[in-house]
Amino acid sequence: MLRIASWNVNSIRQRLPHLIEWLGDAAPDVVCLQEIKCLAEAFPTADIEAVGYNVAVHGQKTFNGVAILSKYPLEDVAAGLPGDDSDEQARYIEAVISTAEGALRVASVYLPNGNPVASEKYPYKLRWMDRLKARTAELLALEETFVLAGDYNIIPAPEDARNPADWVSDALFLLQSRAKFRELMALGITDAFRACEASPGHYTFWDYQAGAWQRDNGIRIDHLLLSPQAASRLHGCVIDKSIRGREKASDHVPVRCDLAI
């Protein structure tokens, strides 16, 4: 069994103690991190290698940044989402992990927020989603087993928000945003969590403002998206909600799934 996880840590340097503790408790084989907020040379590689993980980083000073941690060697590492050579934002990294049972490609995805909608940030979000769809189609054509893990900044459906009405004008929940997400899923992709749990009330993000955590006013925007080959091996998916209640926690929590591979 292979355990794959995703976590927007909202600054790796601030959350490193939480990450190290969680790695010991949850024992994931592969972790995709988002919003590390540092360049590769500032990433705490030695600390993470010391607890048994290989590291690949696509960093950016102060903002964004993604990484992959793996108990297995990381091969064929590629930083940056294809489709726009002028895009300097560090939001995508992928790698291949080889186990005795076979190979798995994983990508850490940090999709643009898109707010404010009236700014250039929203068209950038939509263009980025088109590029992700194109890359996904390429991987599907190769018939690879892969997981696209990350903070998608998309609330897929009303049941993925405690108060959907609060989000109707937000880039995370606009009809056009959700339509782009559905286009991606329609390629043949499976949402690991929804494949295992259909009920509402499950979230991965609670804002720091207005007592959102205390009132459980959350949204589900962190997703593990599986290729058909990965989905056929899915053995469960959970959200580690309790992490949000820790002191100086990230506003996101990890989501992880187990694959028979």
User: What DSSP line would sit under 101-122, residue for residue?
Assistant: TEEEEEEEEE-----STTSTHH
User: Token digits for 170?
Assistant: 């937000």
pLDDT at residue 99, as a whole number = 87
pLDDT at residue 250, as a whole number = 98
pLDDT at residue 173, as a whole number = 98
Cis? peptide before 116, omega within 30° of 0: yes
pLDDT at residue 258, as a whole number = 97
Which CATH code of 1.10.286.10, 3.60.10.10, 3.20.110.10, 3.55.40.20 fits the domain covering 2-259? 3.60.10.10
Q: Which of 96, 6, 108 is nearest to 67 (CA)?
A: 108
Structural domain boundaries in the chain: 2-259
pLDDT at residue 101, as a whole number = 77
pLDDT at residue 100, as a whole number = 82
Q: Model-level pTM?
A: 0.97
Q: Which residues contact 206 (CB under 8 A, 6 or more apart)?
A: 212, 213, 216, 217, 218, 244, 251
Q: Which residue ranges in the chain fall short of pLDDT 50? A: none
Q: Which of 113, 101, 100 is nearest to 10 (CA)?
A: 113
Q: Which residues pair with 35 in a beta bridge?
A: none
User: Token digits for 101?
Assistant: 């049972």
